[in-house]
Amino acid sequence: MSVPHFPIHRDQRDNFHDLAAYDLSVDLESIEKQFDKTLLQLVDYIDMLDEPALVQAVIDLNESYQDLLQQQAQAAQCDAELDEIKKRYLQISSAATPVTIDTVRDYIDGTTQIQSLQQFYDDTHQEDFKNIRISNNSNNKRKTRGSAATYGAPLSTERLLTILPYIIDDPTCVVPDDTETEETEDDIQIEGGKIELSCPITCKPFENPMISKKCGHVFDKEGIQIYFNTPDKKKCPQGACGHELTATDFKPDQVMLLRCKINKMKRPTTTENLDTL
């Protein structure tokens, strides 16, 4: 004789709601934090690596990041699935004959039957949920990344991993995937599809590149201090820009700094020569 199953008792329904699959999200979050930390360390010390080592590191990081995104999506899918299964099982359970002194015997001898949650899960799980695709995590990432209107926004992991292969290959290149930013930036900074790694004010290679939050133009900290020598608004030093700015409209440009560091790594001799000029 098989083990009888009973519908969930009314008083137990709240406990049933709390029933959850082992919550992976906390683990995955800490892996992600660890990952971000590794990536930032790589960025900080990027000019200490040689190019092949850097290329390999970025490939490895990209692979693990894709794995992480996939695991996050799977965990989210698993949660959504379990929630839906619980909801359906509660309905079945509520519709079943209540267990009373009069009906309990029928459950025990099998005259009245209800599937166990495990059976119901096994049956429903495969068929109904194959096509669920929950992408909570990647959706959130897209949102933060799409905020191109705020120039100099903190670099997201995803954006870093997108731009790194391009600027490692050519630190002065326009990153093709960066269309959202480039559309508004259009011809600025770019001469013949190249990004200048020197400040238009000081004409020296960037040391502390700063980006204008209003128009996205980049100048060196030193140049900004020279040009914006009063708190009054002045026209953006970039030729046709026309934005009225003050020194407080600028913040460090992490991407430009990265470009410069990689450039230094790739052409150590030329940069040293320039420095001594």
Please work out, in degrees rounded to the nearest 5, the angle formed at the alpha carbon of residue 143 by the alpha carbons of 154 and 253.
Answer: 20
**In this structure, what token pair is assigned to residue 230?**
């009063």
For the CB of residue 239, give the shortest distance to Zn ion in the complex, in Å: 9
Among 162, 241, 246, 251, binds Zn ion (CB under 5 A): 241
Convert residues 177-216 into a mask of x (bound to Zn ion by CB under 5 A) and - (unbound): --------------------------------------x-
Q: What angle do CA 93, 95, 100 make, to 5 degrees?
A: 75
Q: Which of 236, 257, 262, 265 binds Zn ion (CB under 5 A)?
A: 236
Kindly tell me which of 93 and 238 has the beta carbon lying closer to Zn ion.
238
Q: In sequence order, which residues have a C-beta less than 8 Å from that of residue 206 and are 6 or more positions away? A: 197, 198, 199, 218, 220, 256, 257, 260
User: 243, 247, 251, 271: which one contacts Zn ion (CB under 5 A)?
Assistant: 243
**Of 201, 199, 200, residue with least CA distance to 209:** 199
SS3 assignment for 47-98 = HHCCHHHHHHHHHHHHHHHHHHHHHHHHHHHHHHHHHHHHHHHHHHHHHCCC
CB 163 within 8 A of CB 255: yes
State which amino acid sits at residue 214.
K
- CB-wise, 39 or 236, nearer to Zn ion? 236
- Taking the complex as a whole, the smallest distance from the CB of residue 262 to Zn ion amounts, in Å, to 24
- Rounded least distance, CB 202 to Zn ion, Å: 16
**Residue 224 binds to Zn ion (criterion: CB under 5 A):** no
**Residue 217 within binding range of Zn ion, rule CB under 5 A:** yes
Q: What is the 3-state secondary structure (H, E, C) of 164-194?
A: HHHHHHCCCECCHHHHHHHHHHCCCCEECCE
How far apart CA 202 and CA 161 sit, in angstroms, is: 31
Among 157, 238, 254, 263, binds Zn ion (CB under 5 A): 238
Least distance to Zn ion from the beta carbon of 215, Å?
3
Which region, judged by CB under 5 A, interacts with Zn ion, from 155-163, 219-227, 240-248, 253-261? 240-248
State which residue, 157 or 238, has the beta carbon closest to Zn ion. Answer: 238
Q: At what angle do helices 157-169 and 136-145 cross, to 10 degrees?
A: 60
Query: Residue 117 or residue 236: which is nearer to Zn ion going by CB?
Result: 236
Stretch in the footprint of Zn ion (CB under 5 A) among 27-35, 47-55, 99-107, 243-251: 243-251
For residues 40 and 241, which CB has a smaller minimum distance to Zn ion in the complex? 241
Residue 234 in the binding site for Zn ion (CB under 5 A): no
Q: Which residues form the interface with Zn ion (CB under 5 A)?
A: 215, 217, 236, 238, 241, 243
